[in-house]
Amino acid sequence: MSPSRADRKRNTRFPPLIASAVVASFLAAPVFAGQFSVSPVRIYMTPQDRATAITVVNESAEELVMQADIFTWAQKPGGEDVLVPSEDLFLAPPILKLPPNGRQVVRLAMVKPVRSGSQVTYRMILREVMEAKPPEKGVDVAIALAFSLPVFITPPGAKSDITCTAKRSAKDSVVAECENTGNAYANPRGFALEGAAGEKLAARDSGGYLLPGVKREFDIKRADGPIPPGKAKLAVSLDDGSTKTFDVQLAD
């Protein structure tokens, strides 16, 4: 979704510290903001990798200036993101000046080697530098485009370990509570609740990240009536293409 470039109330710009509200995408394809694209959209590194390549493409007919900000990425117990500015990584060059319809390959590099038995996570915020453009006629405010890209530095053997339960929240709804007790991220993409006979009871086609040690909840609602009590199965599809199934007991 591309932010509007016009708001006629006051001058502002998109500061990096509102990164948690930045548009983000986690598909295995370039991100398109209507004005620029970035590939890859999830950045995977190992502690032995000192740098990795990222391609930024200006999709517009105007010059585009962009800046990268790096944040350590953690989560609160309920899954809320916590971003803290970091100098552990840097983009080379840190300021990009792309001509119309131009592209540039840049390097995301580690300042020092990562020494950890668990996965280390960051967010890189790529944002448009509005001060580099002349103001548009009749526009008092221009809102910068930005994307938040996850960066995973994963040591050998680190992996997620997710377990999920389900409890009733209403006659037609349940809450799936999932916990990641592993030492790498988990990313549920969808949930399906089935009855004891295999009949589909309810589903949800979205999820979210669980960083190591995090527990969070996902609401699942049935569209065509109540969810019956009794034994059921909760199938959780993950971003690696696998599915985990858990036996659950739903109260009346």
115 in any annotated domain = yes
pLDDT of 16: 35
Whether residue 51 sits in one domain with residue 125: yes
Report d(CA 81, CA 75) in Å as an integer: 4
* Averaged pLDDT score across all residues of the chain: 84
76 in any annotated domain = yes
How distant, in Å, are the alpha carbons of 79, 104, 116, 144 from that of 95?
31, 11, 30, 15
Question: Over 60: is that where the pLDDT of 52 sits?
Answer: yes
DSSP string for 8-54? SS------GGGGGGS----SSS-EE-SSEEEE-SSEEE-TT--EEEE
Tokens of 58: 């200006």
pLDDT in tens, 70-116: 999 999 988 999 999 999 999 999 899 999 999 999 999 999 888 88
Whether residue 188 sits in one domain with residue 101: no
Mean pLDDT calculated for residue range 171-192: 97
- Identify the domain boundary among 98, 123, 153: 153
Question: Over 60: is that where the pLDDT of 63 sits?
Answer: yes
Whether residue 46 sits in one domain with residue 143: yes
CA angle in degrees (0–180, nearest 5) for 96-97-102: 105
2 in any annotated domain = no
Whether residue 129 sits in one domain with residue 40: yes
For a pLDDT cut of 70, what percent of the chain falls above it? 81
- More confident site: 134 or 2: 134
pLDDT in tens, 213-247: 999 999 999 989 999 999 999 999 999 999 999 99
Whether residue 121 sits in one domain with residue 98: yes
Residues near 157 by beta carbon (within 8 Å), at least 6 away in sequence: none
Whether residue 201 sits in one domain with residue 88: no
Whether residue 124 sits in one domain with residue 75: yes
Whether residue 44 sits in one domain with residue 141: yes
Question: Over 90: is that where the pLDDT of 36 sits?
Answer: no
Kindly report which listed range (28-42, 59-73, 152-166) carries the lowest average pLDDT score: 28-42
Range(s) of the domain holding residue 229: 162-250
For a pLDDT cut of 90, what percent of the chain falls above it? 68
- Identify the domain boundary among 130, 153, 176: 153
Structural domain total, the chain? 2
- More confident site: 205 or 146: 205
1 in any annotated domain = no
